[in-house]
Amino acid sequence: MKYVLFVATDPAGESTDEDPGAWVEKWSDCGVRVEGMPLKPVTETRTVRVRGERVLVTDGPFAETTEWIAGYDLVEAVDLDEAIEVAGSHPMATGGRIEIRPVEPLDLGPGTENVPHEGDAPASRFLGVLRTDPSAPPFSPDPASMAEWVREGLASGRYLGGEHLRHVQDATLVRRRGGELLITDGGYADVPEWVTGIVFIDGEWEEALDYLSRCPMARSGIAELREFWTDFS
């Protein structure tokens, strides 16, 4: 089963000299870890909301929280126990916190399949993080409109795949403190705007924002645009 691991910061995290590269190599070599990438600082986020006919773009994340997503990993685990083992051995389980979210397959019909990714060298420049918004006016995107948005993005090269996630009530939070593995239910942060899915978007900032603003989910939720961190020099 597929799981997305949201690697998040945590002010209560502990210092660690564990090598994240060794973790990547271990779980990639055995075929459990499929892909993953760090994200640039949350301060460089752009947030998109569509309310009525208005497209609202703001600088920064959806909310000021002390815990924020610093990267993601996609794993193919036998079950939740194995996903917990993988997450619990990550250096950021000590230095931060890791949310495990089961992937819920979403079939939007022919011509909407994910573009194959190349592990740690994603073809897209950005990660779109889709969230709920309890304060938004009621709006229910239908599968047909989502399929049209995906096909439009595939044709233009903007959309390069994504993952739909099960409800946050199915999330598992993993931390390691004082050498002890702590496992609790729930997301990486206690906020009502929980993540419903991720999408890979390519292009320049304005092109990516324009495409993300046409996502039906932006009408009933919040869409964050985060840039992958590929330059470590």
Q: How far is CA 62 from CA 40, 132, 141, 182, 218, in A?
A: 16, 10, 21, 27, 12
What is the tally of structural domains in the chain? Answer: 1
Most confidently modeled range among 89-103, 111-125, 137-151 = 89-103
* Residue 232: inside a domain: no
Residue 51 reports pLDDT greater than 90: yes
* Residue 188: inside a domain: yes
Mean pLDDT over 55-78 rounds to 94
How is residue 39 annotated by DSSP?
B
User: Which residue, 55, 90, 59, is CA-closest to 72?
Assistant: 90
Range of the structural domain that residue 165 is part of: 2-227
Q: What is the CATH number of the domain that holds 220?
A: 3.30.70.1060
Tell me the pTM: 0.94
Mean pLDDT over all residues of the chain? 93
Mean pLDDT over 80-108 rounds to 96
